[in-house]
Chain A
Amino acid sequence: MADGRQQAHTTWWFLTRVPARYSLGFRMDLAFVLRSPGLAIYYLALDAILIPASGATTFLLAERLTGLGSWSVAQVTFLLGYATLVEGILAVAFTYNVSHISRRIGRGQFDHLLVQPQPLWLSLLSEGFAPVTGGAAVAMGIAILAWSITRLPLDTDIAWWGFFLANLGASVVAVLGAMFAWSSLAFWAPVAAEEVATNVHEALTTLGVFPLDGLGTVLTAGLVTAVPAGLVAWLPARALLGVGATATPLWATPAAAVALAIIGAATFRVGLGRYRSVGSSRYTDFGHRR
């Protein structure tokens, strides 16, 4: 009965499991869509409309004013496409329970993660993978970006695309880092903080589609650190397009993302220690939630 389960696996062994997890996520997501095609089309259409619509205000303002500050209309469009793609990647790879991590902690559902025979990082990396239902946002993001790039005088060589991908990944990591750092509050305040992840995500999505140039130093600093909406699209787009009088380093967003990832992982680790110590008492013996 115990078979091979007695042995301890290495991190490398768990890494080799990732493709199988993603394949499972794809199968489940596809089956979900195919089971109810009408509902799926509704979801996809809604995503395709709503996600870019979140940047409609910025776009209309830019169009009306023939640009925003030092940003041309095409640059603003690039920023919006970039933000949509970041949102799409989050919707594809980190949806479900991962995007509601504070709810999971606050409601004691974290217990289910802890009884799975895989490291937490693997659970969090793989269980929010929904490439079909999240795909619409990615498609929209790519379409908007492609359209804007054709209108921009960019020298898109391999190096530029390399920086583009690095910044794109960094933006996703920055959002996740901030979400996990703030969500760690739920380890201490399970009821009050159970929706923190949703709130942080909404704040970043809402503010992430605006060029933040012209804001005061303190506010700008806050928007690239504590609530890193500036890392969703503004700072990386600024660096990639060379917008502004002073050039933004191409490594700025990746560096900030690394810092946020470290902070997010560290606070989450401390919170996890607390969870190990006090557990969750949200459910009574009779199954009611306090």
Chain B
Amino acid sequence: MNPETAVALSGVWKTYRLRERGTSPREVLARIVNPRFRTVEALRGIDLVIARGEIVAIAGPNGAGKSTTVKLLSGLLAPDQGTVVALGCDPIRDRLRYVSRIGVCFGQRTELWWDHPVASSFDWKRVVWNLSQSQYDRSLGALTDMLGLNDIWRVPARELSLGQKMRADLALALLPEPELVILDEPTLGLDVLAKRHVLDFCREINRERRVTIIITSHDLSDLEALAGRMVMVHQGQVAFDGEFDRLRATVGLQRRLRLVTIGEAPSLDGATFLETRDGAHEYAYDAGTTTLPALLAHAEAQVTVLDVETHRPPIDDVIATLYESWSGAPSRT
């Protein structure tokens, strides 16, 4: 493997066999005698290469296979077929060597000792990860500055807010100065400020230490703010792999037009009316096929235009359009 490669998934298949449960008592009994199973192909021959120092976002609709991908990379799951190589290790066979070099943070589950102050969890981590006192002091010093741990240092984990807990968990994952950080929904339930802290911090450690970061989130604007590269998984395969701008381009040069007018929302050829909010009418149009002057001329022919604003649609809308196109549902962008 190229030493500059952090992670390489090659032809990875992962299949789950799920037992189908009955609904009525009779059906439940029948299924005990004659069990039925359905097969779910979580990953279908996935190939993925991530270079050292990259920040990669993994996204996809529910059940797309992103959790399975994260578990494979964390050494929690073994692939049915194909190979997973991360930091030159097989995450399952070389588990101890591998996990000593990675940091994993499950946003929805804390690693903190529940009834103990945050400080105790860090002491625990120092011993279990066998960190030298100098490494511990250096890393903790940096983390304390960046994540503001001082105010929660002596507080038991059970008394922390969601945002504080996330900060502490993130710091705990990064204490051993890992080369690869896997963040599974790290912004889950966080308020705007806490979210910004977490994202800024990730950017900083990536820039300063060239740490490779793999992040999943349902909040796609978070991912866009952090990651340079987006991998979208759909039905167990990589449906998109590239930069966010290229992702936007896959659904055309979509733009939003906001018009403030005197009177009703005008009907515009080449644009789809979305909604009227706070006196402004919003339209979606494809800048590749429809020009803005043409739309404005059309509008002014019908009403008096007081203000105009164009912007790109939020990344969530772009992704929603993709999801809808994958599922065959009508899209609105």
Among the stretches B43-51, B94-102, B221-229, B230-238, the one at the interface with A is B94-102
Judging by beta carbons under 8 Å apart, are B100 and A117 in contact? Answer: yes
Scan residues 261-288 of chain A and give those whose CB is less than 8 A from a CB of chain B: 276-279, 283, 285-287
Contact flag A109-B109 (CB < 8 Å), given A115-B99, A276-B78: yes
Are A24's CB and B109's CB within 8 A? Answer: no
- CB–CB A114/B95 < 8 A: yes
Contact A28 B120 (CB under 8 A): yes
CB-based contact A287/B97 at 8 Å: no
In the assembled complex, the Cα of A268 lies from the Cα of B99 at a distance in Å of 21
Query: Does B188 reach chain A (CB closer than 8 Å)?
Result: yes
* A38 nearest CB across to chain B (Å): 15
Q: B96-127 CB contact bits vs A (8 Å, 1 = yes)?
A: 11011110101111010101110010011001
A150 CB within 8 Å of chain B: no
Q: Would you call A112 an interface residue if the criterion is a C-beta within 8 Å of the partner chain's C-beta atoms?
A: yes
Give A217-250 as 1s and 0s: 1 = Cβ < 8 Å from B's Cβ atoms: 0000000000000000000000000000000000
State the interface size on chain B (CB cutoff 8 A). Answer: 47
Q: A118-B96, A287-B185 are contacts. A1–B179 as well, Cβ < 8 Å?
A: yes
Number of cross-chain contacts by CB at 8 Å: 100
* Pairwise interchain contact B179-A286, C-beta atoms closer than 8 A: no
The answer to whether A6 touches B75, judged by C-beta atoms less than 8 angstroms apart, is: no
Collect the chain A residues with CB atoms within 8 Å of residue B95's CB: 114
The reply to whether A114 and B76 form a contact with Cβ atoms under 8 Å apart is yes
For residue A105, give the distance in angstroms from its CB to the closest CB of chain B.
Answer: 13
A285 touches B185 (CB 8 A): yes
Q: Does the CB pair B209–A112 fall under 8 Å?
A: no
| Residue among B67, B92, B127, B177 with max Cβ neighbours from chain A (10 Å) | B127
B75 and A114: CB pair below 8 A?
yes
Contact: B128 with A1, CB < 8 Å? no
Task: Decide if B16 is an interface residue (CB 8 Å cutoff).
Answer: yes
The answer for the CA separation of A108 and B129 in the assembled complex, in Å, is 22
Does A64 belong to the interface (CB within 8 Å)?
A: no
- Cα of A286 to Cα of B106 in the assembled complex, Å: 11
Q: Give 1 or 0 for each of A1-26: 1 = CB within 8 Å of chain B CB.
A: 11101111100000001001100100
Q: Which residue of B lies closest to A278 (CB)?
A: B16
The winner among B71, B117, B130, B185 for most chain A CB atoms within 10 A is B130
B189 proximal to A (CB < 8 A): yes
Residue contact A279 to B97, C-beta cutoff 8 Å: no
Would you call B129 and A117 a contact (CB within 8 A)?
yes
Q: Are B109 and A285 in contact (CB under 8 A)?
A: no
Q: B109 to A115, Cβ gap below 8 A?
A: no
Is A285's CB under 8 angstroms from B113's CB?
no
A1: chain B residues within 8 A (beta carbon): 177-179, 209
Q: B106 to nearest A CB, angstroms?
A: 7
Other-chain residue from A3, A31, A115 in contact with B116 (beta carbon distance below 8 A): A31
Taking CB atoms, residues of chain B closer than 8 Å to A3 are 135
Q: Can you name the residue of chain B whose Cβ is closest to the Cβ of A24?
A: B127
Q: Which of B57-113 contact A (CB under 8 A)?
A: 62, 67-68, 71, 74-78, 92, 94-97, 99-102, 104, 106-109, 111, 113
Chain B residue, CB-CB nearest to A117: B100
Does B218 have its Cβ within 8 Å of any Cβ on chain A? yes
Q: Is the CB of A283 within 8 A of B109?
A: yes
Chain A residue contacts of B108, Cβ below 8 A: 283, 285-287
- CB neighbours (8 Å) of B107 from chain A are 287
User: Which residues, 176 to 214 on B, are CB-close (under 8 Å) to A?
Assistant: 176-179, 185, 188-189, 209
A97 to B185, CA, bound (A): 25
The reply to whether the CB of A162 lies closer than 8 angstroms to some CB of chain B is: no
CB nearest neighbor in B for A5: B100
A28 in contact with B123 given A1-B177, A17-B130 (CB within 8 Å) = yes
The docked-state distance in angstroms from the alpha carbon of A3 to that of B111 is 24
Q: Does A202 contact B (CB under 8 A)?
A: no
Q: Do A32 and B185 contact each other (CB < 8 Å), given the known contacts A1-B209, A115-B75? A: no
Q: Closest B residue to A276 by CB, please name it.
A: B78
Q: Is the CB of A2 within 8 A of B179?
A: yes
Chain A residues with CB under 8 A of B189:
287
A137-188: which residues lie under 8 A (CB-CB) from chain B?
none
Cα A277 to Cα B115 in complex, Å, equals 32
Q: Contacts of B117 on A, CB cut-off 8 Å?
A: 35
- Closest A residue to B121 by CB, please name it: A28
B122 CB, nearest partner CB in chain A, Å: 11
Of B100, B113, B178, B185, the residue contacting A28 (CB under 8 A) is B113
Once bound together, how far apart are the Cα atoms of A6 and B98, in whole Å?
8
Contacts of B100 in A (CB 8 A): 5, 117
> A20, A117, A278, A287: which contacts B99 (Cβ < 8 A)?
A117
Contact present for A117 and B128 (CB under 8 Å): yes
Judge whether B101 and A2 touch: CB under 8 Å. yes
8 closest pairs, A vs B, by CB? Answer: A287-B108, A117-B100, A5-B100, A24-B127, A276-B78, A115-B104, A279-B77, A117-B99
Which B positions have Cβ atoms within 8 angstroms of A? Answer: 16, 62, 67-68, 71, 74-78, 92, 94-97, 99-102, 104, 106-109, 111, 113, 115-117, 120, 123-124, 127-130, 135, 176-179, 185, 188-189, 209, 216, 218
- Sample of 13 further A-B pairs with CB below 8 A, known A21-B127, A116-B128, A119-B96: A1-B179, A2-B101, A5-B176, A8-B94, A111-B106, A114-B95, A116-B99, A117-B96, A117-B129, A118-B96, A285-B218, A287-B185, A287-B189
